[in-house]
Amino acid sequence: MSLSIAIMEGDGIGPEVMRAAYPVIEAVSERFGIELRLENADAGDRVKSGTGAALPERSLDVIRSSDACLKAPVGQCAAEVIVKLRQMLDLYANIRPAKNLPGVASPFGDVDLVIVRENTEDLYRGMEFEFEGGAIALRLITRKATAKVAEYASKLAAGRNRGKRVTCVHKSNVLRFTDGLFSRTCRETVAKFGDVLYDEMLVDAAAMNLVRNPGAFDVIVTSNLYGDILSDEAAQIAGGLGFAPSGNIGEANAIFEPVHGSAFDIAGHDVANPVALILSSAMMFRHLGMKKAAGEYLLAADAIESAVSALLSKGIRTPDAGGTCSTSQFGSTVAQAIRVAPVAP
């Protein structure tokens, strides 16, 4: 079975962390007999300065026609790239897991949650207007988009061994119509999944409880803005943005990317942490394995995650996590670990 993967190298540390992911992808391709075709779909500040467009039409066409896209962070024009792609391709669910990794410092030892963020609506629609002395932003929440993301969260919770619980985060005590619709739709949708528990939490309380008792959460479903904020908080609780992968999921397309930004201040020094992008590639293979019922893709995802965990537990880390390994060395070491790992019985 052949896979077409669109590759977006991005800006700042983007090309460096992507180059660290290449040998990992190649290793699982060889190990599990996955035929891959990688196609450039570059976008971002650098591309815009050369072409005038942050997201060229050719890159959009490549992403549309691919099985999935692996994206590194872009710079200042992120809204012109990933926010635009989420809306154009209806990548309705943004999946952001936060989980303790071996050897990665965290004040908590029981972090294993997933934030499912509605990805196409809310204030991120960009419907803003200025008037003399002020400005207005329109917030869009629809039943259709909310139901889709709540259903995804329910299916995810049903398949996890963490209590099978969905927590809907909102602020309907103040935003009675928009968040009221969101919470009501989530409640009705999750109720269709009889084995999934459901509760609700106001967003300020959720922010507090994430730093008080993150182990109590399983799957959080929330709107676009709240999810953006809470997922960064959750990533930091689990060890930092450098270890946080994510996926943007739609019916026809999917884009996987690290949560962190382009970090121009350390670009070019071969010290950036590539774990988030490498784990995003594992999310990509797992998504494709479930979608296409392809066991070799699931094995590839397991192999990547196991190799990363093994290296981190041995103290093989980049400087941001207290190690001395370079960006490129980490990628090649993960790839080698995959190649020599024992074959599962």
Per-residue pLDDT tens for 205-223?
999 999 999 999 999 999 9
- Per 3-state DSSP, the chain is made up of helix, strand and coil in percentages (nearest 5) of 50, 20, 30
Residue 99 within a domain: no
% pLDDT > 90, the chain:
93
% of the chain beyond a pLDDT of 70 = 99
- Cβ burial of 321 (10 Å; 0-12, 13-18, 19+) is buried
Count of structural domains, the chain: 2
| Those residues with Cβ within 8 angstroms of residue 271's Cβ, 6 or more apart along the chain or in another chain | 318, 319, 320, 326, 327
Q: Are residues 114 and 229 in the same domain?
A: yes
Phi, psi of 312 (to 5 degrees): -60, -40
Domain-located, residue 37: yes
Q: Which of 299, 302, 311, 298 is nearest to 337 (CA)?
A: 311
Domain boundary residue, one of 221, 238, 255: 238
Residues 228 and 117 in one domain: yes
Specify the DSSP class assigned to residue 122.
B
> How many alpha carbons lie under 13 Å from residue 123 in its C-beta half-sphere?
9
CA angle (241, 97, 300) in 5-degree steps: 100
Q: Are residues 231 and 257 in the same domain?
A: no
**Contact (CB, 8 A) for 117 and 227:** yes
Contact residues for 183 (Cβ-Cβ < 8 A; gap 6+): 168, 170, 172, 200
Q: 226 with 316, same domain?
A: no
Spatial CB neighbours of 149, under 8 Å, sequence gap ≥ 6: 92, 93, 116, 117, 118, 119, 221
Annotated catalytic residues are: 124, 171, 204, 228, 232
Domain membership of residue 155 (yes or no) is: yes
Per the prediction, the chain carries an average pLDDT of 96
Residue 343 pLDDT:
64
Task: Point out the domain boundary residue: 204, 220, 238.
Answer: 238
Q: Does residue 100 belong to any structural domain of this protein?
A: no
Residue 153 has pLDDT above 80, yes or no: yes
Q: Which domain holds residue 178?
A: 106-238
Residues 146/119, Cβ–Cβ less than 8 Å: no
Last residue of a domain, one of 213, 238, 263: 238
The reported pLDDT for the residue numbered 179 is: 98
Task: Say if residue 123 is in the same domain as residue 232.
Answer: yes
Asked if the structure places residue 325 within a domain, the reply is yes
Dump pLDDT digits (tens) for 97-135. 999 999 999 999 899 999 999 999 999 999 999 999 999
In this model, does residue 345 exceed pLDDT 70?
no
- Assign 344 a pLDDT band (cuts: 50, 70, 90): low
Burial of 301 (0-12, 13-18, 19+ CB in 10 A): buried
pTM over 0.85: yes
CATH number of 89's domain: 3.40.718.10
Tens-place pLDDT, residues 8-22: 999 999 999 999 999
- Count Cβ neighbours within 10 Å for each residue of 231-246 and write b for 16 or more, e otherwise: bbbbbbbbbbbbbbbb
